[in-house]
Amino acid sequence: MSTQENTDIHRITLDDREFVLVGTAHISRDSVDTVKAVIQDEHPDTVCVELDEQRHRALRNPRHWESLNLVQVLRQGQAPFLLANLTLASFQKRMGLQTGVKPGAELAVAAETADELGLDIQLVDREIRTTLLRAWRKAGFWKKMSLFSTLLASLFDTQELNEEELTKLRQTDTLTVMLDEMSEVLPTVKTILVDERDTFMAHHIRHSPGNKVVAIFGAAHMPGILKKLGQEITAEEIEELSLIPQKTTLSKLLPWLIPAVVVGLFVYGFMVGNTEQLASAAVAWVLANGVLSALGALIALGHPLTILAAFIAAPITSLNPTIGAGFVTGIVQAFMAPPKVKDLENVSEDIAGIRGWWRNRLTRVLLVFFFSSLGSAIGTFVAFGWLKDLF
């Protein structure tokens, strides 16, 4: 393997095939111009892009939100994934506003330029849902909480970048800063978000058709892909990296364990025959779950009927692991204050600011789902503590 490189572009000869690797910043005008120029000048057989099918469709069709079936998203349990995806997009969007470039613009330009020149386009990144679920399920409880708090903090981050920081940001991947911070506390998550994808993309770049291949991806992946490209990566390794880990036995049992203990305490109280104690326990359960879930819906500025639904549903859904309070409140909110056409059109812009999350009816449904679910979860543990003291 031989290489020739500069700051952004690495040229590699491997098995008599030429690979031109272009590292980009996802919110840099320079990267957009570089990508277009390289593809036009090199005129390769194939252009590989750091995208999966879903992200590719989203970049090609900025109005894709208009076809979103929010009720179906809630019913299929996809709301947490959509919320996490939007949070990451929000981080990049805010950075993009400071550099004047739409996030992922250079990836869109790569696909468009290749299409205009009639070149083969290969989407070489792993499906984003697989990446996020692998990160979530391979992390322990406290690491999950750290990951969650990092994502939540990024939502409220309003830091303005100075010129030096903007210059640095243009020279790297916009998520690198976040990943660097997370890697020390959450090395498993960093491995999944970056290292695994390096392996996945290197394999697909290596096995893409043609004698000359141009590959476009975030600069954060350049070291890993350079290292992996010359290695023999087996199909079994790629298949393993594409699997979503099964839930652990504890995570499967825990949602059933707490309701089982609570129901057992109520049955015990009934058999003992202390009706006053039993009534106090019932009130404690309803108030702790109902009030905190309703408070969550209120924080999300849910419709009054949504707040009422949270109060009624949370004590019941807390005893039924197959349905959550957020599912009920999200459905009610979606029906009582359905997203309008302008909400669907403007969601990409609204998520750039914290107020926009509450102003946009689509994202407000997700906030209702999240905060009412969080309130119900906290309420369950509070009520559980009260019940132990009562019996």
Of 107, 99, 91, residue with least CA distance to 27: 99
Q: What percent of the chain has pLDDT over 90?
A: 30
Q: How far are the Cα atoms of 23, 26, 179 from residue 166, in angstroms, in the given order?
A: 17, 13, 17
- On whether the CB atoms of residues 34 and 22 are closer than 8 A, the answer is yes
- On whether the CB atoms of residues 218 and 173 are closer than 8 A, the answer is yes
Q: In what order do the strands lie in the sheet with 2-5?
A: 2-5, 9-14, 17-24, 212-218, 46-49, 120-123
Return the pLDDT at 147: 60
* pLDDT averaged over every residue in the chain: 78
Instruction: For residue 13, give the 3-state DSSP assignment.
Output: strand
Which two structure tokens, joined as six digits, stand for 240? Answer: 């393993």
> Which residues 6+ apart lie within 8 Å of 271 measured at CB?
none
Total Cβ atoms within 10 A of residue 339: 20
- On whether the CB atoms of residues 380 and 319 are closer than 8 A, the answer is no
Return the pLDDT at 141: 63
Return the pLDDT at 179: 53
Domain ranges of the chain: 2-241, 249-390
Q: Are strands 2-5 and 9-14 parallel, antiparallel or unpaired?
A: antiparallel
Angle at Cα 24 formed by Cα 22 and Cα 29, nearest 5°?
120
Total Cβ atoms within 10 A of residue 234: 9
Instruction: For residue 123, give the 3-state DSSP assignment.
Output: strand
Distance between CA atoms of residues 294 and 372, nearest Å? 6
Q: Which residues of the chain have pLDDT under 70?
A: 1-7, 26-28, 61-69, 81, 84-85, 87-103, 139-188, 268-270, 272-275, 345, 348, 352, 386-391
pLDDT, tens digit, 9 for 90 and up, residues 300-319: 999 999 999 999 999 999 88
* Residue indicated by tokens 């789902």: 369
Return the pLDDT at 314: 92
- On whether the CB atoms of residues 205 and 215 are closer than 8 A, the answer is yes
Of 13, 40, 54, residue with least CA distance to 206: 13
Q: Distance between alpha carbon 188 and the CA centroid of its chain, in Å?
A: 16
Strand partners, 224: none
DSSP secondary structure code for residue 11 in this structure = E
Distance between first and last Cα of the chain = 72
Total Cβ atoms within 10 A of residue 250: 9
> Which residues 6+ apart lie within 8 Å of 276 measured at CB?
none
> Which residues 6+ apart lie within 8 Å of 126 measured at CB?
52, 196, 197, 200, 201, 241, 242
Distance between CA atoms of residues 179 and 164, nearest Å? 20
Instruction: For residue 18, give the 3-state DSSP assignment.
Output: strand
Of 72, 106, 89, 151, residue with least CA distance to 327: 72
Of 383, 332, 357, residue with least CA distance to 155: 357
Of 390, 262, 365, residue with least CA distance to 318: 262
